[in-house]
Amino acid sequence: MTTTARIEVVGVKDTINQLNKLDKELAKEFKASATQIAQPAMNAAKNMYTKVPLSGLSRNWKSQKRTPPQSIKGFDVSRAKAGVQMKFDTRRNAVGVILIIQKDQAAAIFETAGRANANRLSNNLDPVRPGRTRLIGPAVYSARRGIEREMKSVIAEASRTVQKGL
């Protein structure tokens, strides 16, 4: 009696995870090509940072509510531009797999202040809708259509490579 087994990879998370298991170099190539495809969106997000939104944001902040008290570097345009990066998140409970994120703490606070609850800082900044960001989100969504087409083809190619390897 012969049995046959067929393994099918479904989804981007599974493809990236299987690519990592199959060959680390292939995974690196995939991530490099995906980063290059997403570069226009990252550049658009970086170009949105042109000036300090409020003069007080450029000073260092001290948080007294945390133990021990923590100091946060103030908002700096060059650090905000450098903080725009790409991340691959293949954890089981991750919402997105390929993400464009803000790594700079002050810029991330500026991006998200007031999303959940209005506060003094968010009242002085531009309004932001719940669950959205101020600059990165609109910049990425404007460049999204062109990126999706190319990304689908790269993901499909990676998926075919994984299927061949399995």
pLDDT value, residue 4? 38
Nearest Cα neighbor of 76 from 102, 100, 49 is: 49
Contact 65, 58 (CB under 8 A): no
Please name the residues in contact with 26: beta carbons below 8 A apart, sequence gap of 6 or more.
Answer: 19, 158, 161
pLDDT value, residue 3? 42
Separation between Cα atoms, residue 45 and residue 136, nearest integer Å = 5
Separation between Cα atoms, residue 133 and residue 143, nearest integer Å = 16
Separation between Cα atoms, residue 165 and residue 67, nearest integer Å = 50
The mean pLDDT values, 10 residues at a time, for the chain of 166 residues are 43 86 89 92 92 86 77 92 92 85 92 83 80 86 86 88 78
pLDDT value, residue 166? 63
Question: Phi and psi at residue 48, in whole multiples of 5°?
Answer: -70, -25
pLDDT value, residue 78? 95
Domains of the chain: which residue ranges? 12-165
Dihedral Cα 92, 136, 33, 144, nearest 10 deg: 90
Provide the residue type at 78 as one letter: S
Provide the residue type at 123 as one letter: N
Nearest Cα neighbor of 106 from 73, 139, 77 is: 73
Question: Phi and psi at residue 33, in whole multiples of 5°?
Answer: -70, -35
Dihedral Cα 57, 115, 77, 136, nearest 10 deg: -170
pLDDT value, residue 83? 95
pLDDT value, residue 2? 43
